[in-house]
Amino acid sequence: MTIEDLSTASPAPIRVSDLVDVDSGVISRDIFVNEQIHKLELEYLFPRAWLFVGHASQVPNPGDFFSSRMGSDPVLMTRDTKGEVYVLLNSCRHRGMRVCRYDEGNTMQFTCPYHAWSYSMDGSLVDVPGDLHGVPHMKSAYHGRLEKEKWGLVRCPRVYNYKGLIFASWDENAPDFLDYVGNFHFWLDNLADAFDGREGETEVFRGVLKWRIRSNWKFVAENFLGDTYHGASTHASVEAVGIGPGGRGKRRHGERQNQGGFSKGRMKTSFRLGHGASDNLDYELPYPEFAEPKLTEYFEHAWDIRAERLRAEGRALGGRGPATLFPNMSFAAGFPRSILVSHPISSTETEVWRWFLVDKDAPDFVRDWLREYYMRYGGPAGMTEQDDMENWDYATQASLGVVARRYPYNYQQGLGEERLSALDGAVHSDHAIAGEVNARAFYRRWAEFVDNMSWPELMNVAAVDDRVSKIMERASEVEA
Amino acid sequence: MTVTMQNSQPTGLQRVELLSEISEFLYYEADLLDERRYEEWLDLLADDYRYSVPLRMNVMYNDVAEREETKYGSEVCWFDEPKSTVELRVQQLLTGVHWAEEPVSRVSHVVTNLRIVEVSGDEVEVSARFLVYRNRVADETDFFVGRRRDWARRTEQGWKVFRRILHLDQSVLMAKNLSVFL
């Protein structure tokens, strides 16, 4: 064998779109367990997409910081003296040490413990937050020639504050956040707006639940984007016990059944951009009836005001989720109202973070009730979420086998049965409970990113939802 | 023989006897949990029982006192709940379709370093360490370790725990869930 032979002997690059066949609803297990594919998604998906980093209410004052993650990278969300929120790469420019190993706090500067390079976190010591301002032995070691302005903490170039939700992207060429979100923003609005519809009047409770699971991160994203199919079996125990607002013997979420049936509202809304929700905007779901009349009264009032406000704007009242903003920010805008991010650690390991939102001006009795409900519902101690993790973990582990990996997963629910949505860039599933249209769109988008399609191409293919034309074709065939 | 304190801290033999009595009670309680005798276990919790497990965080040295853990009563904790919620959790375990604990886990509660902190009438505050070992299915193993404070009350039906606060020694939970009582 010649040297030339050796150099070409490396395996052909993986094209993940070959593994994701959304037309026939078949997806290879490899994308959930293969470490090589995981590395590709770390390379081409997470550093390009818009990711949720944290909530502005976590850094209310100048000098406040919150440690977060973006894909494989640790970042710091900071607030400077001017009130701006920044996202900085948490790694020293000299030897890479994490300059901050605290989860949250307030400081003037981040000083690397390794060699004590120090970076201004709020811009008060330098021009811009993250700039390098202190270097030991600056004169003797660098002869004063170190160009400090070039060696500040790497700043995330794209940061967007959407009603308090802080998103960031490492990619200068990424489209604006609003274009990345598209019409899916209605779900984000419901998450970030107060229960009575006032814009952005929410904050997060202090305390982010963080825990490790032996699952691929995509199981988590997929679950919230549209898998209502699992509810009856996975959550049978909480359905039986009744832990929701209505109290014992009531449905988990305490939804009122006066909207033509619970299932109707669970129809999926799927966006070509990869986002998806487990409900649609047309489904009006009033706030639940509570066991305590005082709470019912409070939320009924909030609903009435919201209904009036949104109708005046010509907006629909639905869209509470659960939902997933592509790729890994999942959330629900109702009961509970919560954000979940699935941080990729390896192909078979994920760190899950959960935040809970509350209206800024919620009275104590509402705040206390919601907090206790959130804790018994979600997170690793939550009676509902505990059972999800059992599934995600063992689905991942049982897919690792050599034989198991030869057999793809089935995503054929509702294939060819999509319906038109009134929203551009979206379609609905035709089935109330079972419909994998969201997952198919998510994995198609995922493959487009991981195969490193360029941004112009990514936005071009998403500009026209080819699913809509197929629906029209089918309709005309039926008429003919 | 039981020891009754009236607003004075026990000394000498009284203290040894009380510690022995309360230790036996807490070990018995741990056994009931490990043997999954949940209904009997619930009987050992007072009606005003409250169970709190705050989140622990990595914060700067000067912030430790104020910010190292979330505040039960107002912030997000792993647990912060009344007895009625604990009862719901037991009911869930007894459904047989609570998949996080089905098949059931093998659990051992180790309670150690017991020390009486304070005695007030019929109530006693105990400091301890806990180590909860869980093994489930085949190779899933978790350790939950930390400090613990228990408040127990002597009643006509025997001792009852009415307050429990646990400080878990993890900031990121390294287990996939907390489906066991700590």
User: pLDDT digits over A318-334, tens only?
Assistant: 999 999 999 999 999 99
How far is C-alpha B163 from the geometric centre of its chain's CA atoms?
8
Residues linked to residue B153 through DSSP beta bridges, in sequence order: B123, B160
Which pLDDT band, with edges at 50, 70 and 90, does A2 fall under?
low
CATH T-level fold of A177-479: Naphthalene 1,2-dioxygenase Alpha Subunit; Chain A, domain 1 (3.90.380)
Cβ-based neighbours of A369, under 8 Å, separated by 6 or more: A290, A292, A295
A393 neighbourhood in chain B, CB within 8 Å: 176
Question: If you average pLDDT over residues A161-174, what whole number do you get?
Answer: 98
Give the chain A residue nearest B137 (alpha carbons): A394
Residue A412's identity, in one-letter code, is Q
Residue A185's identity, in one-letter code, is H
Q: Is residue B97 part of a domain?
A: yes
Question: If you average pLDDT over residues B111-117, what whole number do you get?
Answer: 97
- Exposure of A34 by Cβ count < 10 A (0-12 exposed, 13-18 middle, 19+ buried)? buried
The answer on pLDDT for B134 being more than 70 is yes
Question: If you average pLDDT over residues A234-260, what whole number do you get?
Answer: 74
Element (H, E) at A344: strand A337-346
Q: Is residue B70 part of a domain?
A: yes
Interface of A with B (CB under 8 A): 101-105, 107, 205-214, 234, 236-238, 240-241, 243, 351, 356, 367, 371-372, 374-376, 379-381, 383, 385-387, 389-391, 393-394
Question: If you average pLDDT over residues A77-105, what whole number do you get?
Answer: 97
Measured between alpha carbons, how far is A53 from A459 in angstroms, rounded to an integer?
23
* Min Cα–Cα distance to chain A from B179, Å: 6
Chosen from B177, B181, B182 to mutate, greatest number of chain A CBs within 10 A: B177
* Min Cα–Cα distance to chain A from B53, Å: 10
Backbone phi, then psi, for B33, in 5-degree steps? -65, -45
Select from A210, A241, A372 the Cβ nearest to the Cβ of B172. A210
Select from B67, B71, B77 the Cβ nearest to the Cβ of A375. B77
Subunit contact B76:A356, Cβ cutoff 8 A: yes
Answer for the pair A308, A426: CB distance below 8 angstroms, yes or no. no
Element (H, E) at A78: strand A73-79
The answer on pLDDT for B24 being more than 70 is yes
Q: Provide the domain limits for residue B25.
A: 12-168
Which pLDDT band, with edges at 50, 70 and 90, does A467 fall under?
very high
The answer on pLDDT for B2 being more than 50 is no
Residue A262: predicted pLDDT: 54
B67 touches A: beta carbon within 8 Å: yes
Of A12-21, A153-162, A194-203, B107-116, the range with the lowest mean pLDDT is: A12-21
pLDDT in tens, A258-290: 445 555 667 899 999 999 999 889 888 889 989
Subunit contact A207:B76, Cβ cutoff 8 A: yes
B79 neighbourhood in chain A, CB within 8 Å: 375, 381
The answer on pLDDT for A5 being more than 90 is no
pLDDT in tens, B66-98: 999 999 999 999 999 999 999 999 999 999 999
List the CATH number of the domain containing B119: 3.10.450.50
Domain with CATH 3.90.380.10 in chain A: 177-479
* Min Cα–Cα distance to chain B from A215, Å: 10
Q: Tell which residue, B139, B137, B132, B130, has the closest CA to residue B105.
A: B137
B59 touches A: beta carbon within 8 Å: yes
Domain count, chain B: 1
Question: If you average pLDDT over residues A115-133, what whole number do you get?
Answer: 91
Question: If you average pLDDT over residues A211-236, what whole number do you get?
Answer: 94
Q: How many residues does chain A have?
A: 480
More confident residue, A229 or A67: A67
Neighbour count for residue A352 (Cβ, 10 Å): 27
Residue B1: predicted pLDDT: 39
Measured between alpha carbons, how far is A201 from A364 in angstroms, rounded to an integer?
16
Q: Is residue B156 part of a domain?
A: yes
The answer on pLDDT for B4 being more than 70 is no
Which pLDDT band, with edges at 50, 70 and 90, does B49 fall under?
very high
pLDDT in tens, A177-215: 999 999 999 999 999 999 999 999 999 999 999 999 999
Answer for the pair B8, B121: CB distance below 8 angstroms, yes or no. no
B138 touches A: beta carbon within 8 Å: no
Residue A434: predicted pLDDT: 82
Question: If you average pLDDT over residues A386-404, what whole number do you get?
Answer: 96
- Using CA atoms, how far residue A13 sits from A146, A299, A380, A446, in Å, is 40, 55, 38, 17
Which pLDDT band, with edges at 50, 70 and 90, does A255 fall under?
low
Select from A101, A211, A383 the Cβ nearest to the Cβ of B173. A211
Domain with CATH 2.102.10.10 in chain A: 51-158
Select from B57, B75, B92 the Cβ nearest to the Cβ of A238. B92
Answer for the pair A278, A321: CB distance below 8 angstroms, yes or no. yes
Measured between alpha carbons, how far is A311 from A304 in angstroms, rounded to an integer?
11
Rg (CA), chain B: 17
Percent of chain B with pLDDT over 90: 92
Neighbour count for residue B172 (Cβ, 10 Å): 15
Chosen from A103, A111, A365 to mutate, greatest number of chain B CBs within 10 A: A103
Residue A256: predicted pLDDT: 61
C-alpha angle with apex A356: A353 to A360, nearest 5 degrees?
A: 145
A381 neighbourhood in chain B, CB within 8 Å: 53, 78-79, 177-179
Residue A263: predicted pLDDT: 56
A240 neighbourhood in chain B, CB within 8 Å: 91-92, 95, 97
Residue A249's identity, in one-letter code, is G
The answer on pLDDT for A87 being more than 70 is yes
Residue A253: predicted pLDDT: 64
Element (H, E) at B139: none
A374 neighbourhood in chain B, CB within 8 Å: 76
Subunit contact B177:A390, Cβ cutoff 8 A: yes
| Token pair 């019912």 in the structure block, residue | A296
Residue A1: predicted pLDDT: 47
Neighbour count for residue A117 (Cβ, 10 Å): 24
Percent of chain B with pLDDT over 70: 96
Answer for the pair A162, A156: CB distance below 8 angstroms, yes or no. no
Residue A12: predicted pLDDT: 72
Residue A353's identity, in one-letter code, is W
The answer on pLDDT for A381 being more than 60 is yes
For the domain A51-158, what is the CATH superfamily, name and number?
A: Rieske [2Fe-2S] iron-sulphur domain (2.102.10.10)
The answer on pLDDT for B9 being more than 80 is no
Percent of chain A with pLDDT over 70: 94
* Min Cα–Cα distance to chain A from B174, Å: 5
Residue A451: predicted pLDDT: 98
Predicted ipTM of the assembly: 0.94
Subunit contact B81:A375, Cβ cutoff 8 A: yes
Select from A241, A374, A380 the Cβ nearest to the Cβ of B173. A380
Question: If you average pLDDT over residues A343-364, what whole number do you get?
Answer: 98
